[in-house]
Chains A and B, each alone.
Chain A
Amino acid sequence: MSIRYPWPAFASPIQCHLTDPRLDGEPLGPQLLDGEHRRIRLDQEPDWDVFECDVVVETDEPVPAGLDRLIPYVMVSSTTTNTRMPFPLSGEPADGHLAIPRSTVSGSFTVQAVTGALVSSRRRVVGSSAPWTVVLDGRQAPVPPGALPFDFSWVDFASDEAPEIARKNPSSHAVMDLTNVLPRLLLNSGIEGLQPLLTSDYAQLERRRLRDILGSSIARYVAATVFRIASDEVTADDGSSARLPSTAMYRETCEAVAAHIPDISTVQDLYDQIVDAQGDEFKRIELWTRIDLAIDALCGSSDVLTIAAKEVWNG
């Protein structure tokens, strides 16, 4: 999707550099600042009161004709606290200093450079940068390559060391526990044969088919559980657009599910339909039927079952 303004504007994103990040005056370790992904991780840092950093904003693009008096600033936004704080910049290139109290942000917040200008005596936004994300809660952080955004472990659901949710369901084969700070998937090592079956990368014939059906079934269970919790967080005030789920994992799941519902174009459409269906029983049933089918497709359940049925039928 691309957005158009009716006034002159920079065609390319402007550059926003954050340097010398500090917590309560103490410099942060360089490993916490990821310039490539424009991300600062504070989720492992102990309590702090004020986050500070220096900002430099620049662009190689000439100022578009018709713009008068550029007004550069940085917008700090935290959706969970409804915070939007502008910090003015000055100079050429424009620079300035941010000081963000911990009490004004939560979960994560973004730092985005914006350039305003006078256009025909009106103040307009004429350019913006890709945002930096400052992560305060690990659940808000993007997941590194090769990792899942939740913990996983094999545990005997009947043992004393199993979490309570598992001990209460000793014969279940899987539990997706979302009550922790970091969600976790528990698989029951007490079910004889389950672990070797699911971890068998070279299974053949009936073992392979059963492994694939079980694997997609558990994945489907995970996705459905996560989506259900995510959808509970999708709400809207009267007349406004739906509010997004709080964590990256929830949003990723919603985006993936939306992509598998044929007549929904964007995840925002899905959010809007979830809100729209909340007071209408018929709409809710119809929407959740489509969601269930989408999760089936997303997790490969339909494909795996189709293939297995065909193979068994053909002998």
Chain B
Amino acid sequence: MQQAAIWKWKRQSRIDGNYGNANQWTVNAGLMSLARESTQNSSDARIEDEPVELVYSLIRLTGARRRAFLAAAGWPELGPHLKAMGDEASGAVAAGQLRAGLEAFESPAPHVLLRIADYGCRGLTGPEFTDDDILSTDFGNFIKLCRLDLFSGKEEAAGGSFGLGKAVYWRFSRLQTVLFNSVVADEDAVQGRTQNRVFGVNQGVRHRHAGKGYEGRGYFGLLDSSGDVASVWEDQDLVDSLHLTREDRRPGTTALLIGFYDPDRPDLGQNKDGLTEIAQELRAGIEENFWPLIARGRLQVRVEVVDGDNVTTAQVAPEETYAELVQALRRFDAGDLDQELADPYSVVARDMPIKISRRKTGDRHESFTHTAKLVVTVSDKQRDTLENRVCLLRRPEMVVQTVDRSFEGVTYHAFLLAGVAIRPTTPSPEDVWADDFLRFAEPPSHDRWIPGKGRRQASQSSLTAHYVAPWVPNLAQIERAITEALIGLFGAPPPVSDRVPNSILRHLRFLRGGPGTGAKGAAPRKPEVDLTEGYVQDGHWRVKFEVRAKNRLEGWTLRPELALVGFDGTRHVIAWESPPELESGNGTVVDGTLRLESAPRGRLLRATVRGISTDALPLPAEESAVEIVVRHIGPLNPRPGKGVS
């Protein structure tokens, strides 16, 4: 009978200690980050020329299934240690996160596991321990993933260079605990075994449990002869009960994130709809970031939601979401390019020179100019998130970053193929060297080549170790070269909008419905008139109206006129039967002109006037509508040297 798997933490050291693994904080939260890092991990582990298949499974556990899983995962040991770690919360950030995660995990809510299984990859190869007689160059994937930090082991072009990408698994576990199962190829057999290598890693914090001190990192597996935890091999029952079952015998690794959550949105995923939402976001993130790899047939991804016996599956299919990009890449690979951009889906390519700095390590090459390829296509009418953006790609065929430029009257899609991404199956040595240069230019999050400025500046310290400066101008030139090429294709982009200086804005307030600078205060700038009474008698309009005007020194003169109003807003002035007469107010009416004298006090001058229209109208008065308009407005007493204001 096989020995049962257990959890074990290293006893606390007297001379130092670690309150959490800093690596996971280098990985951004958010499902987009999970999609990028986990897919890149699998892509980096691919077997030469083998297509990789990746399956994300969101598993919701309730009732008996939940209890069975916890028992198999060694919860009676793991739980108390996690609680002890949470008790260290006052002194460590990671401990606080663990405590919150444990509270959520122990609530009645269903448990959520995320299983990430790749097929067609190397799997967890190599020895169990970093014994003295094993050189670092002989470390297999198992040691790199499960036992070491900040060790990439990737000298040549690959996805990462920091050895940090694996931290994504623990970053998205509430309990910072991940189980692995791996199958390796026959040539990578470990002591003759290839199937179901199971191991677990908890990246917690230093803690005390049952009166003893422990370090933060704990392992799940079998004890070897020296008392250290090693992998469990070929235990199908354990594999099944831990939901680590692999679909077939192809090599690869399954990672199971216990208490899966998005640190940015910890409540998401508590119900079936939430899991579906996560699945959709994951799918979208993989499509947006890995459309080239999938388009070239080197990666297949599906995302499934497992809720009891109910499984729903969605295939990641960028050819639907990013049809222009996928088609353009396939036409580039086939050498089927157009001379110029015209209709949607027409494709052109432009050479983009990238200067590669002299390398002082590894292959030690001189500085040279690499010719990358900018591929541009005209978009169809289907909107997506990558239009008017240039995707920058190298060997992993993951979108590292985008250069965003908009042009008037055109929507385009574009990508820059650099390094090995130009000819993935037959790269030249220069392609590989260029790929390495760009890889080392990437910060740990692998989301930038082009140096940022100020607060946007990211660490590119890897270049320092491998290349002779300067390299910043070389990288900055990439963006300029892309912009120039796009301007050559589409003309100048519209300038980025800015804020109008106040010195101009305050003189243009009339364009926002406010008064111009010449109008201040609430009194009307010009006389206003209100028709307060009107009726038809004997074919005449008889009206009463009130005129209001700002009280000013020079007073006012104006002619009130009666106008017929048409349905379309047009006005036709008609004559008065006799000049209007003042009924009350500040003014006088002389020959039909209302004269408003300045008053010593008050902001407004008012006059109420009565008038009777002629009966010689172009249509019967009974059929018409009327209003009063005022014309010939001017000052009553012009002031010398001062115009009307």
Point out residues on A near B: beta carbons under 8 Å. 1-7, 46, 142-143, 145-149, 151-155, 160-164, 167, 180, 184-186, 198-201, 211-212, 214-216, 218-220, 222-223, 240-241, 249, 252-253, 255-256, 259-260, 262-266, 268-269, 297-301, 303
The residue that B495 contacts in the complex, of A163, A214, A249, A255, with Cβ under 8 A, is A163
Contacts of A256 in B (CB 8 A): 510-511, 516
Q: Across the interface, do B510 and A298 meet the contact criterion of CB distance under 8 Å?
A: yes
Name the residue of chain A whose CB is nearest to the CB of B499: A152
Q: Across the interface, do B512 and A145 meet the contact criterion of CB distance under 8 Å?
A: yes
Shortest Cβ gap from A127 to chain B (Å): 13
Q: Given known contacts A201-B502, A241-B571, A268-B571, what 12 new A-B pairs fall within 8 Å (CB)?
A: A3-B625, A4-B535, A4-B625, A6-B541, A146-B512, A148-B508, A163-B494, A167-B492, A211-B503, A253-B510, A300-B516, A303-B517
What's the Cα separation between A299 and B508 when bound, in Å?
A: 7
Residue from A142, A252, A255, A262 having most chain B Cβ neighbours under 10 A: A262
In the complex, whether B529 has a CB less than 8 A from a CB of chain A is yes
What's the Cα separation between A160 and B569 when bound, in Å?
A: 49
Q: Across the interface, do B633 and A265 meet the contact criterion of CB distance under 8 Å?
A: yes
Name the residue of chain B whose CB is nearest to the CB of A77: B568
- 28 A-B pairs within 8 Å (CB atoms) are namely A3-B626, A4-B534, A4-B626, A4-B627, A6-B622, A146-B512, A151-B494, A151-B497, A152-B497, A152-B498, A153-B495, A154-B495, A155-B495, A161-B493, A180-B408, A184-B494, A184-B495, A198-B501, A211-B503, A241-B569, A252-B511, A262-B633, A262-B635, A262-B644, A263-B634, A265-B629, A265-B631, A301-B507
Contacts of A222 in B (CB 8 A): 504, 508
The residue that A249 contacts in the complex, of B511, B533, B536, with Cβ under 8 A, is B511
Q: Across the interface, do A269 and B492 meet the contact criterion of CB distance under 8 Å?
A: no
Q: Across the interface, do B503 and A212 meet the contact criterion of CB distance under 8 Å?
A: yes
The residue that B531 contacts in the complex, of A3, A201, A269, with Cβ under 8 A, is A3
Name the residue of chain B whose CB is nearest to the CB of A151: B497
Q: Across the interface, do B503 and A148 meet the contact criterion of CB distance under 8 Å?
A: no
Point out residues on B near A: beta carbons under 8 Å. 381, 408, 483-484, 487, 491-508, 510-513, 516-519, 525-527, 529-536, 541, 543, 558, 565, 568-571, 621-622, 624-635, 643-645
Q: Across the interface, do A263 and B632 meet the contact criterion of CB distance under 8 Å?
A: yes
What's the Cα separation between A143 and B510 when bound, in Å?
A: 11
Residue from B483, B484, B498 having most chain A Cβ neighbours under 10 A: B498
The residue that A163 contacts in the complex, of B484, B492, B527, B628, with Cβ under 8 A, is B492
The residue that B510 contacts in the complex, of A1, A199, A252, A262, with Cβ under 8 A, is A252
Q: Across the interface, do A5 and B625 meet the contact criterion of CB distance under 8 Å?
A: yes
Q: Across the interface, do B512 and A1 meet the contact criterion of CB distance under 8 Å?
A: no
Q: Across the interface, do A161 and B517 meet the contact criterion of CB distance under 8 Å?
A: no
What's the Cα separation between A186 and B541 when bound, in Å?
A: 54
Q: Across the interface, do B625 and A298 meet the contact criterion of CB distance under 8 Å?
A: no
Name the residue of chain B whose CB is nearest to the CB of A160: B487
Shortest Cβ gap from A247 to chain B (Å): 11
Q: Across the interface, do A6 and B506 meet the contact criterion of CB distance under 8 Å?
A: no
Q: Across the interface, do A162 and B516 meet the contact criterion of CB distance under 8 Å?
A: no
What's the Cα separation between A163 and B494 when bound, in Å?
A: 7
What's the Cα separation between A131 and B440 when bound, in Å?
A: 62
The residue that B519 contacts in the complex, of A149, A161, A259, with Cβ under 8 A, is A259
What's the Cα separation between A180 and B525 when bound, in Å?
A: 34
Q: Across the interface, do A219 and B495 meet the contact criterion of CB distance under 8 Å?
A: no
Contacts of A151 in B (CB 8 A): 494-495, 497
Q: When A4-B627, A6-B622, A299-B516 are in contact, do A185 and B495 touch as well, CB less than 8 Å?
A: no
Name the residue of chain B whose CB is nearest to the CB of A143: B512
Q: When A5-B625, A153-B497, A265-B526 are in contact, do A300 and B507 touch as well, CB less than 8 Å?
A: yes
Shortest Cβ gap from B232 to chain A (Å): 54
Residue from B381, B511, B513, B534 having most chain A Cβ neighbours under 10 A: B511
